[in-house]
Amino acid sequence: MKGRVAEIFESVQGEGLYFGEKQLFIRFFGCNLECVFCDTKLEQFTEYQPKDLFKRLDSYRGDYHSVAFTGGEPLMQKDFLRRILRFTSSQGQINYLETNGTLYRELEDVIKYVDIIAMDLKLPSSTLSWGCWKAHTKFLEIASKKDTFIKCVITQSTTAADIKRVAALIKEINQYPVVVLQPNSFEQSLQVKHKIKKFKKILENDGITCCAIPQLHKIWEVR
């Protein structure tokens, strides 16, 4: 079994509820989606056997909050991911999974070894693509067994209708994770700021806790 890994590095988390926490990042190569606002265009990777990646990870001796499995989309390499999750878990590490929230069958196979899930919810009006509502619903039902929060990227094209559907999805499964509204880093505009303020009120009126957090690692100028 081989896995495709784009990079391994130490940094601090810059997105979502765990911003500022020191993490060891493992960036998996490949994604099943093509979002217009994607800021991680991966062009090369290194192939690892599990035991070789174990040795590489063992060489990092920092005091980390957690190990962040990111991408791309880590769940596209589900079997390889599960091997690595088992290893880091056995070493006493907290496993933090960053995912686009669509591959629910794959999540079900690895969730035993995951501690925190940062789940993107891809809004059609933001991605300018088809919706993933059914997959997101099934994914969140499974993810809610663990510490999970939702992240929605807000762009100039994001609609209130999509935000209302987020609220309906959350209420449908009767799970209430925190929703993070993240402004698109390519669109620094008053329009996006006004939309976030409006969308925050829509979610809060439905009893959903939400907050606005930008990509802080870009502000801090770190990876």
CATH code, 20: 3.20.20.70
The DSSP annotation for the chain comes to --EEEEEEEEEE--SGGGTT-EEEEEEE---S---TT--------EEE-HHHHHHHHHT-----SEEEEESS-GGGGHHHHHHHHHHHHHTTPPEEEEE-S--HHHHHHHGGG--EEEEE---HHHHTS---HHHHHHHHHHHTTSEEEEEEEE-TT--HHHHHHHHHHHHHHT----EEEEE-TT---HHHHHHHHHHHHHHHHTT--EEE---HHHHHT--
Give the domain extent around 155. 3-220
pLDDT profile of the chain (223 residues), mean per 10: 95 96 97 83 92 94 93 97 97 96 98 98 91 96 97 96 97 93 87 96 97 89 82
What is the count of structural domains for the chain? 1
pTM of the model: 0.95
